[in-house]
Amino acid sequence: MKQNELNIRDIFAELKHRIVWIILAAVICGLGAYIYSYSTTVQTYTAQITLFVTNTNRTSDDTDISSSELVTSSKLVESYIAVLKSRKVMDQVAAALPPEVPVSGSQILGMIRTTASGETEKFTVAVISTNSSYAEIIANKIGEIAPNAIQEVTLAGKATVLDWAQGAAPNKVDNVTPTILGALAGFAIACLVIIIIFSFNTTIWDENDLEKRYDIPIFGTIPKLQSSEVRPVKRKAEDEKK
């Protein structure tokens, strides 16, 4: 018996035969994923400032910086970032915000992203918000409050704002990735459903299906007569009766 055996070639043939349904399922799922992503994704904006860390407080005449001081300054960046992201500093920033920006310190902490520029003495603070004005105001307020607040905690070095936030840039909304994933999911689900239906389908269509499913010899087949072939025989029999 070969009834429970599935031929890989037959499966691919069945998938090829149902390719229109597979493509249709992929298109529908991809379109649904795009609509869902487009309707649920919120546009955000980013404003950022850049700060420079020095190891010691210098006067304008003191311009020579040793290599050890540069290394120490770059290491201070990590400490400065840790202090900046503390609740104490964020609460000070929130308290200094104007009334039209009703944001708490914990909310600001969830809005900021800090990035150190390699092993240099620079680091950036980015503020991400759904309101472009909020992002710019909060970023610049961090630049005003954070340097002194950090120095009070660390008691070492100095942070200076190099670049202030000038507007907030819109972040790119990615609707392509969800669309592709949705289309792939639709394609996979459609193929899986077709394979399952095909594996449980025991319909015999012709002698080839019998040979594939059973180890029995086939000596002959009865052809299917078309209606055009049957009618002349019927009429001839009626004429003979008359």
- In sequence order, what are the beta bridge partners of 116? 123
- In sequence order, what are the beta bridge partners of 128? 46
> Residue ranges of the domains in the chain?
8-36+175-241, 45-170
Crossing angle for the helix pair 19-40 and 8-17, to the nearest 10 degrees: 70
Q: Are 213 and 204 in contact (CB under 8 A)?
A: yes
Mean pLDDT, each 10-residue run in order, the chain (242 residues) = 60 89 95 93 92 65 52 71 88 92 91 80 90 93 89 78 91 92 96 89 66 66 61 52 56
Per-residue pLDDT, 3: 46
- Give the phi and the psi of residue 53 in degrees, each rounded to 5: -105, 130
Per-residue pLDDT, 4: 45
Per-residue pLDDT, 35: 94
What is the distance between the alpha carbons of residues 233 and 235, in angstroms, rounded to a whole number? 5
Closest CA to 90 of 54, 139, 55, 133: 139
Q: Are 178 and 41 in contact (CB under 8 A)?
A: no
Q: Angle at CA 28, nearest 5°, toward 170 and 192?
A: 120
- The CATH number assigned to the domain with range 45-170 reads 3.30.70.1130
What is the distance between the alpha carbons of residues 159 and 125, in angstroms, rounded to a whole number? 13
Strands (E), the chain: 45-54, 112-116, 122-129, 158-163, 169-170
Per-residue pLDDT, 139: 93
Q: Take residue 72 and report the two structure tokens written for it.
A: 């120490």
Per-residue pLDDT, 11: 85
Q: Are 57 and 50 in contact (CB under 8 A)?
A: no
Q: Are 107 and 152 in contact (CB under 8 A)?
A: no
pTM > 0.85: yes or no: no
> Tokens 């700060």 label which residue?
51
Cβ neighbours for 149, distance < 8 A, ≥ 6 positions apart: 83, 84, 88, 89, 92
Measured CA to CA in angstroms, residue 172 lies from 37, 42, 72, 176 at distances of 13, 11, 37, 11
